[in-house]
Amino acid sequence: MAVGLIGKKVGMTRVFLRDGTAIPVTVIELQPNVVVAIRNKEKDGYTAIQLGAFSTKEKHLTKAQIGHLQKAGVKLVRILREFKVDSVEGYQVGQELSVGDVFSPGDLVDVVGISKGRGFTGTMKRWDFGGFPKSHGHRYHRAVGSIGNRSDPGRVWKSKRMAGHYGAQKVRVQALFVVDVLPEKNLLLVKGSVPGPVGGHLVVEKSVISQRKSQKLKLNRLKHINENLVKGAQV
């Protein structure tokens, strides 16, 4: 079974349990992904499937991308991603994978997306610096403070936390709990928030840390959500 799909963020809402408890969830739309290519150990050195999502026009793709998709005999898609699998048996180029084929309630998933861009910001917003005292007698309140030390080293160290561009970076949120799967609507409901704006593209895949002891305890703690979820009250 594939370990992930490509989708987009619809927004946040909440679902209810039978006792009235509200669970905050993010709604992710996962339209059927098409298998564009299959990687095997004999030819590529690893086993994986390449999936494509979001139909598009030729003008939005490069000639190389168009040729790759036409050679596979699949529709033109905007985004391609590879997902490693233990075995490629059962997959074929042109096959479509839907949300119900990959995920089920109670799974732990990792969500990868591009965080919201916030432009050029100072150190207090970008790095959560505390700032200087806000009382009288202080000339600086939100300044960065000292960034060096005398003649040695005589320069600013690389990776020094300073003001600069904040956001618009790839972010992975790990081990989010799948509250529900709505195959008829191609929707996945995960507990908590995910990176990016509404409408932003996301990659959802089986969590790489799901086998850790802490995550198994987490699953045991949250399994009551699936058992007591009020059906028909979601999106």
Write down the pTM of the prediction: 0.87
Average pLDDT, the chain: 92
Q: Please identify which residue in the block is written with the tokens 């809402």.
A: 13
**27 and 182 Cβ atoms separated by less than 8 Å:** no
Q: How confident is the model at residue 234 (pLDDT cuts 50, 70, 90)?
A: low
Give which of 99, 96, 85 is closest to 39, Cα–Cα: 85
DSSP state of 105: T
pLDDT recorded at residue 1: 44
How distant is the alpha carbon of residue 138 from its chain centre? 43
With 80 as the cut, is the pLDDT of residue 232 above it? Answer: no
Residue 126 main-chain phi, psi, to 5 deg: -75, -40
What fold characterizes domain 4-118+171-228?
A: Elongation Factor Tu (Ef-tu); domain 3 (2.40.30)
Mean pLDDT of 69-76: 93
Please state the domain extents for the chain. 4-118+171-228, 119-166
Instruction: State the amino acid at position 113 in one-letter form.
Output: G
Closest CA to 38 of 5, 6, 67, 2: 2
Q: Which pLDDT score, from 0 to 100, does residue 231 have? A: 78
Q: In a 10 Å sphere around its CB, with 0-12 CB exposed, 13-18 middle and 19+ buried, how is residue 61 labelled?
A: middle
154, pLDDT greater than 90 = no
